[in-house]
Amino acid sequence: MHVVTRFAPSPTGALHLGSARTALFNWLFARHHHGTFLLRIEDTDRERSTETSVQAVFDGLKWLNLTWDQEVVFQFSRAAMHVTAAHQLVEKGKAYYCYATPEELDQMRAEAKAKGLPPRYNGLWRNRSPNEAPSGVRPVVRLKMPQQGATHVDDLVQGPVTVSNAQLDDMVLLRSDGTPTYMLSVVVDDHAMGITHVIRGDDHLTNTFRQLQLYEALGWTPPQFAHIPLIHGADGAKLSKRHGAVSVDSYRTLGYLPEAMCNCLLRLGWGHGDDEIIAREQAIAWFDIAHVGKAPARFELARLDHLNAHYMRAIPDAELAERLKPFLAISLNEKQHQRLLKSLPSLKQRTKTLIDLAKMATPYLTEAPLCYTTEALEVLYSPGNRAIIDGIFPLLAASTWTAVALETTLREFTEAKSIGFGKVAQLLRWALTGCKVSPGIFEVLEALGQSESLARLQSACDPKGG
């Protein structure tokens, strides 16, 4: 069998983490089986579907590098095909026109509620002739659901699941305005697109029983279903905005890498032994539905931070510099670019996101004189500290500019002056970066280079603070 999967989001907002994971699982399953991954935009809700949301889906999938294999399918454009399928069912006697009025439907719901039952349609028009239709009522089309027996699904994640057909009322296929419902459109599109496996959230499991009956009525072979658990927050509650950012684009803006996000999403409900770091090629080779768990997965930011730090360290410096540039407040000239490259090996060991990295890299990219903060000025211009900088300056100007030579120079100075080396290193850190925290002072000196380092020390001796 040639495997065909699909990701079918409704474009009513940003691409949610749960939706992104569904797309990832479908993509990996297709790639693992050398199959086809399709994208369908379910834009039948015309009031809520927006072009901005459609673009958010495209951008999110492209950022995650989840490429689809054929032209995007827009569900609304295929409405005529959905309507035709419904009318064919009516002609075969497997669906019917229902003329129940809003008042009658309200009464059915009230009666069911009074009996402690879920609201449902009672089959009022199931066996009646349209000739009895009241005037002025536009009918809906309902599927004749079986009233005896049970509907069974062998779910690839949930296992065998059965529901009594008595619980499934006659669902609407066409609304009174003639437009198709979600349930009809999904089945018709999945069949037309040749979908072999439907991998989606387990909140759709109840829909599957109804959709299987629709496949049966249409005489089509249904796909295999796999309903994956939802994503919860660290507190065990369903993931929502109160847990922080829940959209893919938000994490992109926060400076996370797509490799880390995909690795994190992959491990939400799926695992391969104790492996935590799983590269794309390995994920394709290993992924299978059998290792998707039934229990809800918990999204924890600490895990994403850990993964992001790992992938930042693994990316070659030249590539990381290019990814970092959109997060920098300035456009780099060649000298600044080279300085950034020199600083990255150290900086990326100390940061977790591109935003953190950009913040820590900023002191390397500005030019002397620096604009020091009040805290920095208080440190730099205390009389004792000014004297230390004045004493170090000529020694550094004469030193060979390597980490070994610079360390020898500074240690000889501190020993001669009986000053703690840590104090001198911290003072130089303030003078060279304007910050209290930075990589090792010799790494800073090497990354800045002799000319820029001396210019910064000179500006630190300026009573105006640059």
Which residues are part of the catalytic machinery? Answer: 241
Asked if residue 139 lies in contact with residue 176, where contact means CB atoms within 8 angstroms, the answer is: yes
Q: CA–CA distance from 343 to each of 37, 318, 327, 369, 458 (Å)? A: 41, 11, 16, 19, 22
φ/ψ of 206, rounded to 5, equals -65, -30
Cβ count near 267 (within 10 Å) = 20
Q: DSSP alpha helices (H): ranges in 115-231?
A: 182-192, 205-218
**Given phi > 0 = left and psi -120 to 50 = alpha, else beta, which region is 417?**
alpha
Tokens of 397: 């100007």
Tokens of 124: 């009022």
Q: CA–CA distance from 457 to each of 403, 428, 454, 461 (Å)? A: 17, 8, 5, 7
Render the burial of 304-336: b for 16+ CB within 10 Å, e for the rest: bbbbbbbbbeebebeebbeebeebbeeeeeeeb
Supply the DSSP string of 111-145, one letter for each residue: HHHHTT-------TTTT--GGGPPTT-PPEEEE--
φ/ψ of 230, rounded to 5, equals -75, 165
Residue type, 212: L
End-to-end CA distance of the chain: 71
Question: Taking the alpha carbons of 3, 278, 70, 153 in that order, is the dihedral positive or negative?
Answer: positive
Residue 404 parent element (H or E): helix 403-417
Q: CA–CA distance from 453 to each of 347, 365, 438, 458, 465 (Å)? A: 18, 12, 14, 9, 15
Alpha carbons 24 and 60: distance in angstroms, whole number:
11
Asked if residue 133 lies in contact with residue 104, where contact means CB atoms within 8 angstroms, the answer is: no
φ/ψ of 152, rounded to 5, equals -120, 140
Question: DSSP code of 236?
Answer: S
Residue with tokens 């929502």: 240
Q: Cis (ω within 30 of 0) for the bond into 383?
A: no
